[in-house]
Structure 1
Amino acid sequence: MTLPPYARLLGVTLELVDGMPEIVMPFGQHVVGRPGFLQGGAIAGLLEVAAVAALRHALAGEGAGIKQINGTVEFMRGGRDHVTRAGGEIVRLGARVATVATTAWQDDGARPIATARMNYLIERAGG
């Protein structure tokens, strides 16, 4: 699966958990905001990478292109100096538009540090 180019800048890796993609971002100087905490843009970028991974996983084999239309991020608590994980769930997968909900967490998946809802334009082959 191909991730957006800035995924490399964030240092993320992709893992399959129960058959679904999960994005893992290590803590380091490249994602520091205030001392000991993640920068908000790094968290938002992680959520977007998770949305792209979920959508590409759902569209696997179709050869469809995707372009982000918009996105909204909710920051719930500060991301500390720990590994951060994110996963996405397809809310709607239509013929031309998809909506993906993503969540980022650190120690406990039930205590997210941020969530997002993102909409994508789907460019299917021959369509």
Structure 2
Amino acid sequence: MTPEKFVALLEASKESKDWQPLFDIIPYFSYLGLRLENRDGSLICVLPEDKKFIGNPTLPALHGGVVGAFLESTALVHLFATQEVTRLPKIINITVEYLRSGKPVETYAEAVITKPGRRVANMRIEAWQGNRKKPIAAAHANFLVS
């Protein structure tokens, strides 16, 4: 997809608040089955319950790689929705903190830009399940945005 088509799709998604067409062009978003919900003015990414995400079947618990990918994907979605993006942001680095075992249930995440910049955006992302005050994972990430 050309950068012009990507920007046009992104702008159309922002206008319509329908992010699915944008998610469909990113294969890993489709694999994860991501959804975006607007709750009280906050953009919340949702990872659906799915057995394919289980890493330890004896607990059972979500695979750490899926949790990390979900956090990174949430940050990207937040950048798409809130910033003037003219191309796909590129991850510079991400540090994931695994705080507790994630059960194979619907999981939520929210990203916050802690320092927007012309070239680099610094972000904090948290994921939780039943209780938002008990996150299962958090991350700090830096993205190249221009």
- TM-score relative to the length of structure 2: 0.78
Cα distance in 2 for residues equivalent to 1:57 and 1:99: 15
Q: Does the aligned pair in 1 maintain the 2:61–2:104 contact within 8 Å? A: yes
Equivalent residue number for residue 52 of structure 2: 30
- Using CA pairs under 8 Å that are at least 6 residues apart, name the structure with larger relative contact order, 1 or 2: 1
Of 6, 13, 26, the residue aligned with 2:35 is 13
Question: How many angstroms does 1:42 deviate by?
Answer: 0.6
| Whole-angstrom CA distance in 2 between matches of 1:63 and 1:116 | 22
Matches of 1:18 and 1:53 in 2, distance apart? Answer: 17
State the superposition RMSD in angstroms. 1.3
Cα deviations by residue, 1:36-56 (Å, 9 ceiling, x for unpaired): 210001100110111011111
| Residue ranges of structure 2 left out of the alignment (5+ in a row) | 1-18
Amino acid of the structure 2 residue aligned with 1:79: G
How far apart, CA to CA, are the structure 2 residues paired with 1:99 and 1:64?
A: 18
Q: Which has the larger radius of gyration?
A: 2
Tell me what 1:43 maps to.
67
Segment drifting more, 84-93 vs 20-29: 20-29
1:57 and 2:92 correspond: no
CA offset digits 1:104-127 (Å, max 9, x no partner): 00001110000001100112xxxx
Alignment size in residue pairs: 121
Counterpart CA distance in 1 for 2:75 and 2:85 is 17
How big is each residue's C-alpha offset from its partner over 1:17-70, in whole Å with a ceiling of 9 and x where there is no partner?
Answer: 2233211112212211111210001100110111011111221xx342211111
Runs of 4+ in 1 over 6 A off after TM superposition: none
Higher helix share: 2
Hey, what does 2:98 align to over in structure 1? 75
- Preserved contact between residue 55 and residue 100 of structure 1 (Cα < 8 Å): no
Aligned residue type for 2:72: E
For structure 1, the residue ranges without an aligned partner over 5 or more in a row are: none
**TM-score (normalised: structure 1):** 0.88
Q: Secondary structure at the match of 1:109?
A: coil
